[in-house]
Amino acid sequence: MTNFLLETSDLAVVVGAGQGIGLGLVEKLLASQPRLTIVGTYRDPNRAQGLFDLKERYVERLVLQQADPCDETDVAELASLVGKQDKRLHLLINSVGYLHDDQRGPEKSLKDIDVEHLQKYFLVNAIVTPLLAKHFLGLFRHKDLSCFVSLSAKVGSITDNSLGGWYGYRASKSALNMFLKNISIELTRRGCKTIVLSIHPGTTKTELSKPFISKSTKLQLHEPIEAATNILSVIQGRAITDGGEFYSWNGEKLPW
Ligand SMILES: NC(=O)c1ccc[n+]([C@@H]2O[C@H](COP(=O)([O-])OP(=O)(O)OC[C@H]3O[C@@H](n4cnc5c(N)ncnc54)[C@H](OP(=O)(O)O)[C@@H]3O)[C@@H](O)[C@H]2O)c1
């Protein structure tokens, strides 16, 4: 097989499936890929009701695991659980991301720079991905084509940055892109037939984007399930030579 196909995939992992696009990805994969088993992670059961509802409908094919993706012990336990599924891992999508919390939002100017906040951006948006790659590498060492995907953001493109601002979010997504390029090179060198992709999901109506979407926005807005459909279309049919690249939700290549 020279192209990655969701239809022939056995096992997928969606990290950050408790809400937003990650939840949409689990829902779309369950509904469209009847042979696929999915492991979905969440942090807080109080924010993952949609995922628990899906578990009631897909008892056999959905495995849930509580895990904090920033905690290496949790990531190692997750990889161990996935390894015990007795199926080949064909797809991993990291849908974790951070833009604002109750107290803080993205920096508007240099006066807003705060060391602890920048560290949080880099931990959640960038460092989680190489941590996942470290612990899942062994599970991608098989003869089939597989995909390792992280959701990035167009604002992480250095070439595309004409507005400035959002220092931590932009820079951490740029760092994520560099991590993904490196992971792509290392997985290939280590004999994995894994296509590593950085994907911008498009502006999507989730908790992450809510404070920044005005009623008058000219941006094209997506529901999480639409974003999931678009992301899966970008993944579907990819060849190993498409790996180590940055794609937009409509399949166009984005500049780094
Ligand atoms: N929405 C957009 O318009 C948009 C645009 C461009 C890129 N993206 C990217 O798409 C991805 C998915 O975002 P989304 O829109 O679906 O956002 P979301 O609904 O807010 O979901 C964010 C995910 O990240 C997890 N997360 C947030 N803060 C975390 C932390 N401190 N530690 C560990 N996990 C944390 C959340 O876990 P909990 O549920 O446990 O909080 C959740 O699983 C992100 O990488 C985001 O940067 C989104």
> What confidence tens digit (pLDDT) does each residue in 195-217 have?
999 999 999 999 999 999 987 78
User: What does the CA dihedral 55, 24, 96, 199 come to, rounded to 10 degrees?
Assistant: 140
Among residues 189, 72, 75, the alpha carbon closest in space to that of 141 is found at 189
Q: Report pLDDT for 155.
A: 97
pLDDT of residue 219: 83
> How many whole angstroms from 132 Cα to the centroid of ligand 1?
16
Every domain of the chain and the residues it spans: 6-248
What does the pLDDT average to over 69-94?
98
Which of the four CATH numbers 3.90.1150.10, 3.30.300.30, 3.30.200.20, 3.40.50.720 does domain 6-248 have? Answer: 3.40.50.720
Q: Kindly tell me the number of DSSP H helices and DSSP E strands found in the chain.
A: 7, 7
Lowest-confidence region among 112-121, 130-139, 210-219? 210-219
Over residues 20-49, the pLDDT tens digits come to 999 999 999 999 999 999 999 999 999 999
pLDDT at residue 237, rounded to an integer: 98
In angstroms and rounded to an integer, the radius of gyration of the C-alpha atoms of the chain is 17
Three-state DSSP state, 256: coil
Looking at ligand 1, which atom is closest to the CA of residue 203?
Answer: 3
CA of 241 to the centre of ligand 1 (A): 28
CA of 13 to the centre of ligand 1 (A): 16
The residues pairing with 222 across neighbouring beta strands, listed in sequence order, are 204
Report the percent of the chain where pLDDT is more than 70. Answer: 100
Rounded to an integer, what distance in angstroms lies between the CA atom of residue 121 and that of residue 130? 15
What pLDDT does 1 receive? 66
- State residue 7's pLDDT score: 98
Mutate to test the pocket of ligand 1, among 27, 71, 149, 206 (most ligand atoms within 8 A of CB): 206
Cα–Cα distance measured from residue 45 to residue 52, given in angstroms and rounded to the nearest whole number: 8
Q: How confident is the model at residue 87 (pLDDT cuts 50, 70, 90)?
A: very high
What residues line ligand 1, using a CB cutoff of 6 Å? 16, 18-22, 42-44, 47, 68-70, 95-98, 124, 151, 153, 200-201, 203-204, 206-209
Q: What's the rounded Cα separation, in Å, for the pair 47 and 5?
A: 31
Distance from C-alpha of 95 to C-alpha of 21, rounded to nearest angstrom: 7
- Looking at ligand 1, which atom is closest to the CA of residue 18? 39
Q: Whose CA is nearest to atom 24 of ligand 1?
A: 96
- Name the DSSP class of 204: B
Question: What is the pLDDT of the chain when averaged over all its residues?
Answer: 97
Taking residues 231-246, report their average pLDDT: 98
Distance, first Cα to last Cα, the chain:
29
